[in-house]
Amino acid sequence: MNRAPPLVLALLALSVVPVQGQTSVSGVRDLAFGALPVGITTIILPTDPIKSGQWNMTSPVRSRVFFRLTLPSQLNGPGGATMPVDFRNGDAFILEVAAGAQPEYFNPGGNVNHRFTGSNQAIIRLGGRATPAPGQRSGAYSNTVVLTISNIQ
For the chain, percent of residues with pLDDT exceeding 70? 86
Q: Please say if the pLDDT value at position 132 is more than 80.
A: yes
Q: Please say if the pLDDT value at position 4 is more than 90.
A: no
Under a CB-based contact definition with an 8 Å cutoff, are residues 84 and 25 in contact?
Answer: no
Asked whether residue 1 is domain-assigned, the answer is no
Q: What is the CATH number of the domain that holds 27?
A: 2.60.40
Task: Measure the CA–CA gap between 66 and 4, rounded to whole angstroms.
Answer: 44
Task: Measure the CA–CA gap between 29 and 24, rounded to whole angstroms.
Answer: 16
Of the pLDDT bands very low, low, confident and very high (cuts 50, 70, 90), residue 146 is very high
Domain that holds residue 123: 7-152
| Residue 2, pLDDT score | 37
Span 121-145, mean pLDDT? 95
Asked whether residue 72 is domain-assigned, the answer is yes
The count of structural domains within the chain is 1
For the chain, percent of residues with pLDDT exceeding 90? 76
Under a CB-based contact definition with an 8 Å cutoff, are residues 80 and 143 in contact?
Answer: no
Residue spans of beta strands (DSSP E) within 1-153: 7-16, 24-29, 31-37, 42-44, 53-58, 64-70, 74-76, 82-86, 92-96, 104-106, 111-115, 121-126, 128-130, 140-141, 144-152
For residue 17, give the nearest of 57, 49, 44, 60 by alpha carbon: 57
- Comparison of pLDDT for 3 and 37, the residue scoring more: 37
Asked whether residue 86 is domain-assigned, the answer is yes
Under a CB-based contact definition with an 8 Å cutoff, are residues 11 and 126 in contact?
Answer: no
| Residue 153, pLDDT score | 57
Q: Could you report the per-residue pLDDT of 62-118, keeping only the tens digit for each?
A: 899 999 999 999 999 999 999 999 999 999 999 999 999 999 999 999 999 999 998
| Residue 32, pLDDT score | 94
| Residue 5, pLDDT score | 38
Asked whether residue 2 is domain-assigned, the answer is no
Asked whether residue 139 is domain-assigned, the answer is yes
CA angle 115, 105, 55 (to 5 degrees): 70
| Residue 151, pLDDT score | 75
Rounded mean pLDDT of the chain?
Answer: 86
| Residue 82, pLDDT score | 95
Under a CB-based contact definition with an 8 Å cutoff, are residues 68 and 87 in contact?
Answer: no
